[in-house]
Amino acid sequence: MVTPDMWKRFVDDASPLAADADRRASPARGDRLVRDEDLPGLGRYAGDVRLVVTGGAGQIAGAAAYCRKHGVEVSSLDLTVRDLGDPAGNVRRFLAAFDVALAAGDLIEDTVVHVRVAGELTPSWLAALDEIAAAEWMVTLPLDGQLDPESWIDAAMDRETPVSLVGGTPGQAVAALRTAARLWGDEDDLTAARRWVRSWATPDVDAALDHLEQLDHLGSR
């Protein structure tokens, strides 16, 4: 099932900043990924930014303050759990740092937070997923073959927690959507799956848009 808004803001742009001059317009485009260390090269970009924090929780406040000072619209944060021994504790540290930036006025409450996870869905990762769900954040699944998307999507849906994707191919991204649709009840209902799988970050946006347009042309099959 495909609707006109099926792919709205699904593709987050992780291409190099130098490619911005040739950005292809599409309603499927979402946020622009920008690493905190690349912020000085952002220039006059006026769209929504998904701020990728390359370090730990302690790096959130400085990056967010820089963005506010320079007029960068941070619509979402992109964080990576690096403490694999205590991922739940890592998420709690993210939350504490987010609250500090919120109190300082450098972030707003509506900021979407993507938390990248890794590996097998162990009890410690389930505890981290509980923390992500409690914060009403989003669990972000790398499509690099290092984790099983289905088990993570299933666990996230059990907690009514949305998912975002990063990396991989257009086929892998659509496969993850179909997984969510099947778990929800109808593998072909990709529109319903978007309730759970909110976005996909890719450096090859043109290939992504071409693939999605072809799916629309074929009726998503």
pLDDT in tens, 66-75: 999 999 999 9
Please provide the size of the chain in residues: 221
């317009």: which residue's tokens? 25
* Rounded Cα distance, 219 and 195, in Å: 19
């979407």: which residue's tokens? 112
């999605």: which residue's tokens? 212
* Rounded Cα distance, 59 and 197, in Å: 27
Radius of gyration of the chain (CA): 17
CB atoms within 10 A of CB 209: 20
CB 96 within 8 A of CB 70: no
Q: What is the pLDDT of residues 146-201, one digit of tens each?
A: 899 999 999 999 999 999 999 999 999 999 999 999 999 998 899 999 999 999 99
Task: Provide the token pair at 208.
Answer: 């992504």
Work out the percent of the chain whose per-residue pLDDT is above 70.
94
The CA-based angle 26-29-35, given to 5 degrees, is 140
Q: What is the pLDDT of residues 76-99, one digit of tens each?
A: 999 999 999 999 999 999 999 999
Pairing state between β 112-116 and 138-142: parallel
- Picking from 107, 102, 106, 112, the residue whose alpha carbon sits closest to that of residue 136 is 112
If pLDDT is split at 50, 70 and 90, which confidence band does 220 have? very low
- Picking from 10, 166, 168, the residue whose alpha carbon sits closest to that of residue 79 is 166
